[in-house]
A = this chain, B = another copy of it.
């Protein structure tokens, strides 16, 4: 979680608009992919760089430019000037520690969201920042590019002309991308739900240190997800209700659907958080319970054997004048007494429901 901050802290003192990539991925190639499509045609290519700008004046197609990898500041600033992006937008695209947000710059809409994936190596949920810029005729997307391209399924749908995506405009493309990201949250949430269910069974069967540690880890994950998903609600809502001319009414119906899904995800997450909080309470109560049991065993043992040992000690004393020692039935008698005492103790515990 701390890594989020490092970027921001690193930049303290720099003028606003400074292009500093604050993410972790610094190497590897930056890949730029271009798709232009309309209902009848689709053109796809990998761009080597951004040497010339596009002209959208007379185009009827929708253009989708996707940039994978953000560490080439020169390239970014060239893209920025090509599309006329505000310096703060470019800065935000590169600062991969943004809170999800939506901003309306008359010429285009700027949306920051976060893509989640479960890193099974460290058993933690990780996030990657995705910036989407939407205008009348184009969509720009910027990914950090950790986990391969998350938009492959959208690309496939475009190529195969599935659903209505090719028939609609750039706003519908932006919606589809958002929808893909939010659908992915449910994959993460389902996984989390399964871990919680497992944990719950363990909690009831055999709570131990590991259970505690797992509850702690899951709470950390839930907190992380919360920071990612909650602000999205606001983002999608602004997107849906905004009066930007780039978004058609037909698409708004779909965006409303994404909004509902986001609410559903938040709902689920909050339920998980409550369940985890409840589990910690149960854990603490179980521990307390168990301590009680342990102490009862100890107390029972001590209460039975301490008096008996004392008695044995008494007849182990070496006084010269101890008449009992000479009685013929002294030894069996003392055994009798001891057994009676022991049974009486057990009966007393039984009455107290300790056994």
Main secondary structure of the interface of A (DSSP, over half): helix
Chain B residue, CB-CB nearest to A4 = B268
Q: Is A30's CB within 8 Å of the partner chain B? A: no
Chain A 288-312 residues near chain B, CB threshold 8 A: 288-292, 294-299, 301-303, 305-310, 312
Checking B183, B206, B263, B292 against A294 with a beta-carbon cut-off of 8 angstroms, the contacting residue is B292
Establish whether residues A288 and B284, one from each chain, have CB atoms under 8 Å apart when the complex forms.
yes
Checking B208, B213, B315 against A204 with a beta-carbon cut-off of 8 angstroms, the contacting residue is B213
Establish whether residues A15 and B310, one from each chain, have CB atoms under 8 Å apart when the complex forms.
no
Chain B residue, CB-CB nearest to A284 = B285
Establish whether residues A302 and B292, one from each chain, have CB atoms under 8 Å apart when the complex forms.
no
Q: Write out the residue numbers on chain B whose beta carbons fall within 8 Å of the beta carbon of A5.
A: 186, 189-190, 193, 268
Offer 21 A-B interface pairs, CB within 8 angstroms, sorted by A: A5-B268, A8-B264, A15-B165, A86-B253, A97-B264, A101-B260, A223-B271, A227-B267, A283-B285, A291-B291, A297-B299, A301-B303, A306-B309, A308-B310, A309-B313, A313-B316, A315-B318, A318-B318, A319-B324, A319-B330, A321-B328
Give me the interface of A with B, judged by CB distance under 8 Å.
1-2, 4-6, 8-9, 11-13, 15-18, 86, 88, 97-99, 101, 103, 153, 157, 162-165, 176, 179-180, 183-184, 186-187, 189-190, 193-194, 196-197, 204, 206, 208-209, 212-213, 216, 219-220, 223, 227, 231, 253-254, 256-257, 260-261, 263-264, 267-268, 271, 274-275, 278, 280-292, 294-299, 301-303, 305-310, 312-322, 324-331, 334, 338, 353-354
